[in-house]
Amino acid sequence: PAVGRPVVVLAEELSPATVDALGTDVEVRRCDGSDRAELLAALADADAVLIRSATSMDAEAIAAAPRLKVIARAGIGLDNVAVAEATAAGVLVVNAPTSNIVSAAEHAIALLLAVARNVAPADAALRAGRWQRARFTGVELSGKVLGIVGLGRIGSLVARRMAAFDMRVIAYDPYADAESAERAGVRLVPLDELLAHSDFITVHLPKTPETLGLIGAGAFAGMKPGVRIVNAARGGIVDEDALYAALLEGRVAGAGLDVFATEPCTASPLFALENVVATPHLGAGTAEAQEKAGTSVAASVLLALSGAPVPDA
Ligand code: MLT
């Protein structure tokens, strides 16, 4: 291999298209970004690092990377990147903000339908030899109120799609523009109103100090009894202890969870409840989203390494 090529560290599993898009002018090295010692060692020579959600590019990781020019998040959320520290160190942070929005919206809808129709426990029962129909009686979505918490790119896609299921869609988003929401057939309401009126709630917020624990004990107390809730955004926005209590109490009839306060999460009291369906952070887990996210950030990395300006994605 040619000497002196910039070193690009792939800290997580990325699509083959990502590696193709990086080409041969850079040296691609792999490491397991969730293994802290391995990550810090790999960063020592890195000019660029590509991550998904399992790698924490915090202040310590940035300090361990003296040559680093760019951190590329093959996805949307930047909650695992210390953006201010990176900027102070002269490291560019890039992401792929539209790459996986359709996949994330579709996964939230998959969880919504799974929760409404008990798909996961019915499947488990049948595989265990039990043909139980009455036990898994569900509810229709048609005519029900869907409350979307966070009407950004993903929340808006969910709204449009669920209108086709004849759901009545309301949303809470202090940053959303009321006119465009109305054009999309969504009524913006205060959070307490959304909680009180929704039959289904789905969360589409970034994880920030403002959103962490937003759906906690107080929020559950204000929800319509029998509500079903989906979180395919970020763990911790829906407080897991408060959700567990609300499920036990019966106030919440079911939950679909793709994200957890601490990931990977392989043990949780929530997993013992039949009315919880859980997936391991699969919102962006489609061939299409991974290809788009990877190729988009690969292009940004090459631009950044060549010193060219990186346009907003
Ligand atoms: C995102 O923020 O885009 C997702 O967490 C994607 C991922 O799973 O990497």
Q: What is the ipTM of this complex?
A: 0.93
What's the pLDDT at 312? 77
Question: Ligand 1, from 100, 234, 288: best to mutate by most atoms within 8 Å of Cβ?
Answer: 100
Same domain, 20 and 161: no
Q: Which residues contact 124 (CB under 8 A, 6 or more apart)?
A: none
Rounded Cα distance, 77 and 184, in Å: 24
3-class DSSP state of 28:
strand
The residues assigned a catalytic role are 234, 263, 281
From the CB of 75, is ligand 1 less than 6 Å away?
A: yes
If you take atom 9 of ligand 1, which residue's CA is the nearest one? Answer: 52
For the chain, the domain total comes to 2
What's the pLDDT at 3? 63
From the CB of 207, is ligand 1 less than 6 Å away?
A: no
Range of the domain at 16: 7-99+287-305
What's the pLDDT at 179? 87
Same domain, 271 and 291: no
What's the pLDDT at 67? 98
Q: Which residues of 196-207 are buried (b: 16+ CB within 10 A; e: fewer)?
A: eebbbbbbbbeb
What's the pLDDT at 1? 43
What's the pLDDT at 191? 98
From the CB of 204, is ligand 1 less than 6 Å away?
A: no
Same domain, 182 and 54: no
The closest-lying atom of ligand 1 relative to the alpha carbon of residue 12 is: 9
List the structure tokens of 85.
Answer: 């520290």
57 — phi, psi (to 5°)?
Answer: -95, 75
Question: Ligand 1, from 52, 281, 296: best to mutate by most atoms within 8 Å of Cβ?
Answer: 52
From the CB of 52, is ligand 1 less than 6 Å away?
A: yes
Kindly state whether residue 310 falls inside one of the protein's structural domains.
no
Classify strands 70-73 and 48-51 as parallel, antiparallel or unpaired: parallel
Q: How far is the CA of 207 from the centre of ligand 1 (A)?
A: 12
Helices 287-305, 101-117: axis angle to 10 degrees equals: 150
Task: Report the Cα 157 to chain-centroid distance in Å.
Answer: 14
Rounded Cα distance, 97 and 234, in Å: 15
What's the pLDDT at 313? 66
From the CB of 281, is ligand 1 less than 6 Å away?
A: yes
Same domain, 87 and 152: no
CATH of the domain at 147: 3.40.50.720
Same domain, 192 and 118: yes
Q: How far is the CA of 139 from the centre of ligand 1 (A)?
A: 30
Same domain, 159 and 298: no
| Ranges under pLDDT 70 in the chain | 1-3, 313
Residue 101 carries which DSSP code? Answer: H
Kindly state whether residue 313 falls inside one of the protein's structural domains.
no
Same domain, 207 and 95: no
What's the pLDDT at 154? 97
The DSSP annotation for 218-279 comes to HHHHTSPTTEEEEE-S-TTSB-HHHHHHHHHHTSEEEEEES--SSSS----GGGG-TTEEE-
Q: How far is the CA of 229 from the centre of ligand 1 (A)?
A: 20
From the CB of 292, is ligand 1 less than 6 Å away?
A: no
**In which element (H, E) is residue 293 found?**
helix 287-305
What's the pLDDT at 19? 97
